[in-house]
Chains A and B, each alone.
Chain A
Amino acid sequence: MNLKVIVASIIIVGALIFGASTFMESNIEYMDFEMAQTVNKKVQVKGRWVKEKESNFDATTSQFTFYMVDDNNQEVKVVLDGAKPNNFEIATEVVAKGRFKDGYFHANELLTKCPSKYEGDGEAVKKTL
């Protein structure tokens, strides 16, 4: 009986340590561009797309390039692996996941936060009258 309890406890503790360490490793921290420049790991940065600046999709490298400002108004060029995400144009906020590389932010993933499209906004209802 005792042996069983010990074995079980070892397995459980081992699994928890394994889980916790993987969790800490793969946690992608939120930071601003300034901080992101100083760390050499995958991070995520929240901000807005600078619509006025150029943005394009390069078909040869399959990368989408655009400019983004973070919450501290620092503007950075972002190169995303992949095409322009759905809802990009109407997003009020974007979150880029990736790391800094040669002066630009190399993102592997881009999340878009849409304006509460399905929450009522007065403008939308006027259009449908």
Chain B
Amino acid sequence: MFGAALVKIAFASSILSTVLYFVVHRNPSDTVKKIARLFYELTVAGLVTASAILLYFILTHQFQYYYVWNYSSTDLPLSLLISTFYAGQEGSFMLWSLYTGVIGLVLLRYTAKRGYEPEFMAVFSAILSFLILMLVVKNPFKPIWEQFSTELLHVGAVPVGTTNFIWVDQARGLWAQVPLEGKGLNALLQNYWMVIHPQILFIGFTSMSIPFAYAVAGMLKKDYVSWIRVATPWTAFGSMMLGTGIILGGYWAYETLGWGGYWGWDPVENSSLVPWLVCVASIHTMLAQRKNGTYIKTNFVLSMFCFILVLYSTFLTRSGVLGETSVHSFVDPGMWVYWLLLIVIGLFAALGFGLLFSRWKEMPVVPVQHTLVSREFALFLGASSLVFASIFILIGTSSPIITNIIKGKISAVDPSFYITTTLPLGVAIALLSGLGQLLWWQNSKTNDLLKQLMMPAALAATFTVGTFIMGATHVAMIVFIFASAFALCTNVIVGWKIVRGNPKMAGGSIAHVGIALMFLGFVASAKYDDVKTLNLEQGKSVQALGYTMTYVGYQPLERGRFGFNVEVEKDGQKFVVTPVMFKENDEGSLIRNPDIVNMITKDFYVSPLSLESAGASDHDQEIMLLKGKTETYEGMQLTYLGYNFTQTKEKGNYLVMDIEVLYNGMKELVHPTMSNKGGKPTFTEAQLQNSEIALVIKGMNPSKEEGEATVTLEVTGIHGQKKLSAPKAETLVVEASVKPYINLVWIGTVLLIGGFLITIVRRIQETLKK
């Protein structure tokens, strides 16, 4: 209850801070500013303490709290136990608020130095109060007996020997049982990616609110130009963090979830990609504005959309609107969250765009000075391509909502939608990211441009021809390969010159080299991968995809997991991969984790599908026949004609089946029997002539009704030999695939992040100069 109270205090104080900062904006006053700052710091202190309390409850297994009970358990290792902090909605809003609050402390000092504190902090603190409001509604400190009052709440004396209870109201004799164990963390989430990925993603979400706050602050201050300078490092920071979070999620999916790829165009992935694309677009238009003052309104719009889209993505993934259209299962959080999120989106959008329209006329109009052959225009086109890509992805992801409105029925788009729509934009982005580096500001001489184009274009063309010879097909892919190769060559050439001159300026080129490599990696690993399903009998070598694979057996791993060892050999090199399968719990959901051989030019990816134990289970060999209807089974055509029932002293109840069998072109009538004497049933098998096959009755429904009478037969080898065919060894079924040049994706990512880092450092230094 103390935790919940802290959250409420933090909420109140963040609202106060917002109001006071706004007052300072209207009537500058150092005293009020100090108080506003104090309230902001109080908010953060409240959040930090509340988070520490929640973490403490988790670490000490205080299952009297619903959240702790719902997501953690005593058997989790420490790192995963900590990660249960944000495994559910309540906790992830807690983490989000915490990071927003703490980053706000940094921003407070940053903006104070640059004369932006009151306006920026007023908006930022408003955003923080919305996040805390979510925590007030979805309280992570809810006692478990509020959730399960019928099961856990009792009145009267506590039975002797009961130790796990808490007095809720001792005066009224009200007490509650406390669970001894928690429900635990979803098995799919139980790996180290759970420790790192959500944290970075939430820092990314947090930082998307920064451009919004700057844009609104700029409009409040009627500063339509220099806010860009202050905001740019943070926009780059946001792109870096959110981008890292997204790609880590992709790597998680690839490396442990066994989806076979790093990107599935799932709503959860898409909804963080959309704000990222817009944020990256805004970096480019901000650059153009810094240079010659254009795109003022565009920058306000894009910066505000970064945050609006994060809110919308939260709405999509948290409110339950996507229903069953995604592989992520969403919990319906109740109408409160649904409406609260909608209202908040409306409020922030109204605030931002209302202000924009009221200031529209005031904003300076800078006459366009650049020609169509200029860097500004390339930046504009590049940003437009990014924005269009984000719009398409947004529409696709929202399709359950759109179709619900238009047709009244919910449906999602096929993943091919995203590829069809974004591929042309990807080509444009790649070409422009190369071209933009060659163009001058304002105007380029066509001759100069052509001269500079020669080299990278020729290299890219050679490279493309090379991939074509190596087997690249599909015109669209070849165009995309050429565009990406062009982007790569240009940026390497230009980047190299910059690095030798002033490395601080090389952020853009390095990031573009990264993007180009990623594009090439996407094509190679996703379009030209090679997939095969294989049955690996234990001890028997199987050749596929140029590899020799041998399943050698399994061993138990920690926490009820099993590792299946497969020896992989290629050109004398030997590896052992150990994909993992395990049952999540008694209900028996099977979790599969792939294993990967990482090589320089490719990944060999082994994803387990199932383990067929030696000798198939009995169940597989049973067939149910409806009277008069012919069924096919293992090459036999079986028809249940009827049965004959007799009752005699010697044999007891005696039942003879008439089954017509067509097998190997021969038709015959066979009679498996069932007798019951003294309550003990015996079954006699009926053998098929000239075969090793026998039929045994397993069960029947002797109904007289047409269409109800059935018999269930077991088809076995004669004399109870279980198998029809020769007994098989234990068989591991895997999906093996070769993902060529997937390392390009990861190398590209690292370069992209590095590029952002260099840009951030450079832009921060610039804000201090004047």
List chain A positions with a Cβ less than 8 A from chain B. Answer: 15, 18-19, 22-23, 25-30, 42, 44, 46, 54, 56-57, 59-60, 62, 82-84, 86-90, 93, 95, 111-114, 116-120, 122, 124-126, 128-129
Contact = CB atoms under 8 A, between A and B. Distances in A.
Contacts of B590: 84, 86, 88-89
A102 B331 CA distance: 37
A90 B391 CA distance: 36
Given A26-B413, A26-B417, A118-B88, 12 more contacts: A19-B395, A59-B610, A59-B612, A87-B329, A111-B327, A113-B329, A114-B329, A116-B331, A118-B70, A128-B63, A128-B179, A129-B180
Interface string B578-602: 0000000001111110000000000
A19 B391 contact: yes
Contacts of A22: 417, 420-421
A129 B164 contact: yes
B283 interface: no
Nearest to B66: A120
Interface stretch (B148-156, B268-276, B491-499): B148-156
A116 B332 contact: yes
Contacts of A93: 324
Interface stretch (B42-50, B117-125, B404-412, B749-757): B404-412
A128 B403 CA distance: 42
B410 A30 contact: yes
B194 to A, nearest CB: 15
B622 A54 contact: yes
A118 B87 CA distance: 10
Given A28-B412, A119-B331, A57 B70 contact: no
Nearest to A125: B148
B508 interface: no
Contacts of B552: none
B411 A59 contact: no
A18 B425 CA distance: 12
A27 B413 contact: yes
Contacts of B735: 62, 83
A28 B411 contact: yes
> Top 8 nearest A-B pairs by Cβ distance?
A62-B533, A26-B417, A83-B609, A128-B179, A26-B414, A128-B181, A120-B147, A113-B324
B403 A27 contact: yes
B609 A122 contact: no
B396 to A, nearest CB: 7
A57 B183 CA distance: 30
Contacts of B164: 129
B440 interface: no
A22 B410 CA distance: 17
B395 A56 contact: no
Contacts of B421: 18-19, 22
B341 to A, nearest CB: 18
A116 B629 CA distance: 41
A125 B332 contact: no
B533 A126 contact: no
B414 A125 contact: no
Contacts of B144: 125
Given A86-B591, A90-B587, A128-B63, A122 B411 contact: no
Contacts of A95: 324-325
B610 A120 contact: no
Nearest to A94: B324
B396 A23 contact: yes
Interface string B179-218: 1111100101000000000000000000000000000000
Interface in B112-170: 144, 147-148, 150-152, 164
Contacts of A23: 395-396, 399, 413, 417
Nearest to B384: A11
A93 B331 CA distance: 14
A87 B327 CA distance: 11
Contacts of B533: 59, 62
B326 interface: yes
A26 B420 contact: yes
Interface of B: 63, 66, 69-71, 88, 144, 147-148, 150-152, 164, 177, 179-183, 186, 188, 324-327, 329, 331-332, 388, 391-392, 395-396, 399, 403, 409-414, 416-417, 420-421, 533, 535, 587-592, 609-610, 612, 619-620, 622-624, 731, 733, 735
Contact of B589 (A27, A86, A111): A86
B733 A83 contact: yes
21 contacts: A19-B392, A19-B421, A22-B421, A25-B417, A27-B417, A29-B411, A30-B410, A42-B414, A44-B412, A54-B623, A59-B612, A83-B592, A83-B735, A86-B590, A95-B324, A116-B332, A120-B147, A122-B148, A125-B69, A125-B152, A128-B180
Contact of A28 (B182, B413, B587, B623): B413
Contacts of B610: 57, 59, 83-84
A91 to B, nearest CB: 9
B163 to A, nearest CB: 12
A43 B588 CA distance: 29
A112 B535 CA distance: 26
B324 A111 contact: yes
Contact of A120 (B70, B410, B411, B587): B70
A102 B627 CA distance: 23
Contacts of A111: 324-327
A104 B327 CA distance: 24
Nearest to B585: A90
A56 B324 CA distance: 24
A27 B182 CA distance: 41
Nearest to B183: A124
A19 to B, nearest CB: 5
A102 to B, nearest CB: 13
A112 B587 CA distance: 15
Contacts of A118: 70-71, 88, 183, 186, 331
Contacts of B417: 22-23, 25-27
A18 B61 CA distance: 54
Nearest to B407: A29
A44 B733 contact: no
A54 to B, nearest CB: 7
Contacts of B414: 26-28, 42
B179 A129 contact: yes
B151 A56 contact: no
Nearest to A18: B421
B331 to A, nearest CB: 5
Contacts of A54: 619, 622-624
A29 B409 contact: yes
A100 B413 CA distance: 19
Contacts of B325: 95, 111
A128 B69 contact: yes
Contact of A57 (B326, B392, B609): B609
A62 B733 contact: yes
B183 to A, nearest CB: 6
A40 to B, nearest CB: 16
A71 to B, nearest CB: 12
A59 B608 CA distance: 12
Contacts of A83: 592, 609-610, 733, 735
Nearest to A44: B411
Contacts of B731: 59
B415 to A, nearest CB: 8
A126 B183 CA distance: 11
Contacts of A57: 609-610, 733
Nearest to A89: B588
Nearest to B149: A122
Nearest to B416: A26
A56 B147 contact: no
Highest count of chain A CB atoms <10 Å: which of B186, B590, B620: B590
